[in-house]
Structure 1
């Protein structure tokens, strides 16, 4: 980053713009640049690596916003099944220990329960396929064994129902598959068999529908290598029913639920290759229909629904690329590349709207690396709160306004809208920006000025305005530069 020196006329302008203060400002920027910044830059950036490599592991966003990573495996001269679990803190970009699993396992499931604990079931260990299950308690950062499943399973699915119970379906030991399903009740720590699916499946996918049913699709069995069929479980009737077939067979693919309630089946291995095709399931009609295909075929990849309703598909064996699906236009566009090729990884939507991708199998073996994807938030910030909500280049913008508290400014500016999520006092600031900012707040509906600030202090040339709002009131936030200044803007709302 290059920061230009102040001109002599600027030094004379004001005590607040003194040379010594600007030197302090530049030094503070240099310090910030080597520390973690939660600032928002659209696209991919590296996150802190995990404490160790893993593939076919699980990642679960906890109630506090941290991400629990558990299980998986990696290969050295032998196969290793780590029992150490870890937590990622998005605010500090750090990993810390999350206790120790009672058994190492890969291809298991991890399900967030209503009380904030995480249920881990089944998977493959060093010598066998597991029926054992265990619970992680974030309050004590510890693991405890719970009742085992009725049947051992790996490459199965687990979905938390609306009543808090967990439906486990399919999977099975190596070279076989089962159609058996069972329910876990956290209140009684018991497993109960439910009717079996019509087809034995493993490496399939499952999703909770808005009406409380569970959609299961794809997978394979020992008799029929790859399924295109799908079925739904209805907790109200404790029964399964067929809901037609996708346009192609799929294994090792994700199902994701769109804001509309429809479900996308994205990519996968068809048994005859890696079709880039994508199908949409409509719960209202129980039917499938193809939508626009991805640019390339993928399997053992991830698909994540972003806060804006778009879908991020990332990775696959031998692939570092990602692409975005926009339901509104039924189109896919490139979403850049990760730091490494990776498949068998995880992708978790964070509370701040970013996506954390961890581990997997890449060209150099099993990975400990992690990446963050930051969507382009555009100009509407919704009701998001936090540090580094936006990072944007103001130099490419135009000069559309003149701030009331910095007469003579001709700098380019960026504007955003933001809606108060609740009633209270909120502070908007540009701390972490790379240039001398000027911040103005307006009522988005009436245009009334609500506050303007040039410098927070004589030693900091960034801006901050506190404003008291009622829930639902919308702000227009305008960030200018002092005189002609521009650069990388960081916007924070607390």
Structure 2
């Protein structure tokens, strides 16, 4: 028979055990919720896509190119880090070789356009540095010359500009290019080729005309040269360098009729040729990423209005065709 003294002792032990279990659970919760780093292991067949679900849970979706499937990884979480000195949108961003992140230009409210840029490092956070020569937003920022320089091209402010400038990472200086682009543009793309040249494609000009014009930037002369135009004008599209280092895939976007298009074309040996099939649906504001196997994953986007897509597709460079693949968990577009 258990006497009153033993009952009291058992009750005390039970209380301590329950308290310890609750404290342990809270500690684990806080560790997961507020952990300071996330490590993603690289894999040859997996592309990781960060997303925040509707319940506010920060999770990662991985896309496996061998099985064409998506899986959720709730062990990886977004964390809040240091804030920029100025909030901004439509800015340029590149990763520098010293693992710093460079953000430049953009718009900080409805009327203020920026030309300053900030550098981020894990040890010091964000630090404001020198200004660009021009105020720029809805432009492109591209690293080149073995990641020792950065090209800023185009802008919509104060009018659409033909100018471009180069940032020397070592000397921390901005210099205007020797010549301008053939036309002012914004909402264009810039793609670094294996030979070190940068292809500047499409976009819009100051009158709202959708451009098919293409320029190529040559670092040796710090100048631009006009090359063959796209088969159709485009903006809000993607351009992706394929594995051979010289072919560029351009997909979707808005065309000269201001309609979203499912067409795609290839920059091959200085000329533009259509792909053998179109994308599975028209897309703008979408994303495209080169996969380790040489295919291109194209995901999300929308109709250019209020409808966003969760669908995705794969471009095969061997057959020059598109094929539907697993959809994302949620719609992602403009």
TM-score normalised by L of structure 1: 0.51
Q: Does residue 1:230 correspond to 2:220, yes or no? A: no
Q: Report the alpha carbon displacement of residue 171 of structure 1 after superposing the two structures with TM.
A: 1.6
2:77 to 87, 94, 101: 94
Q: What 5-or-longer segments of structure 1 have no aligned partner?
A: 1-34, 54-89, 345-494
2:265 to 259, 275, 279: 279
Cα-to-partner distance string for 1:333-359 (whole Å, 9 max, x where unaligned): 111222222214xxxxxxxxxxxxxxx
* Runs of 4+ displaced beyond 6 Å: 42-46, 50-53
Cα-to-partner distance string for 1:252-306 (whole Å, 9 max, x where unaligned): 1111100012111111101311121111112xx3211111311111111111111
Partner of 2:196: 212
Question: How well do the aligned residues superpose, as a CA RMSD in angstroms?
Answer: 2.8
SS at match of 1:95: coil
Partner of 2:52: 49
Contact 2:232-2:256 within 8 A present in 1 as well: no
1:9-88 superposed matches below 5 A: 49=52
Q: Report the alpha carbon displacement of residue 224 of structure 1 after superposing the two structures with TM.
A: 5.6
Q: Does residue 1:299 correspond to 2:284, yes or no? A: yes
Cα-to-partner distance string for 1:32-70 (whole Å, 9 max, x where unaligned): xxx99x899x999985628999xxxxxxxxxxxxxxxxx
Higher helix proportion (structure 1 or 2) = 2
Query: Which has the higher relative contact order, 1 or 2, with Cα contacts under 8 A spaced 6 or more apart?
Result: 1
Cα-to-partner distance string for 1:430-472 (whole Å, 9 max, x where unaligned): xxxxxxxxxxxxxxxxxxxxxxxxxxxxxxxxxxxxxxxxxxx
Q: Report the alpha carbon displacement of residue 185 of structure 1 after superposing the two structures with TM.
A: 1.2
Partner of 1:338: 328
Measure, in 1, the Cα distance between the counterparts of 2:232 and 2:286: 17
Contact 2:300-2:312 within 8 A present in 1 as well: yes
Partner of 1:251: 235
Measure, in 2, the Cα distance between the counterparts of 1:51 and 1:166: 37
Partner of 1:114: 97
Measure, in 2, the Cα distance between the counterparts of 1:172 and 1:180: 11
Higher strand proportion (structure 1 or 2) = 1
Q: Does residue 1:310 correspond to 2:300, yes or no? A: no
1:120–1:50 CA distance, 2 compared to 1 (3 A): farther
- Once the two structures are overlaid, the 10-residue window that deviates more, 181-190 or 165-174, is 165-174
Contact 2:250-2:265 within 8 A present in 1 as well: yes
1:51–1:105 CA distance, 2 compared to 1 (3 A): farther
Count how many residue pairs are aligned between Structure 1 and Structure 2: 268
Contact 2:156-2:206 within 8 A present in 1 as well: no
SS at match of 2:81: strand
1:145–1:51 CA distance, 2 compared to 1 (3 A): farther
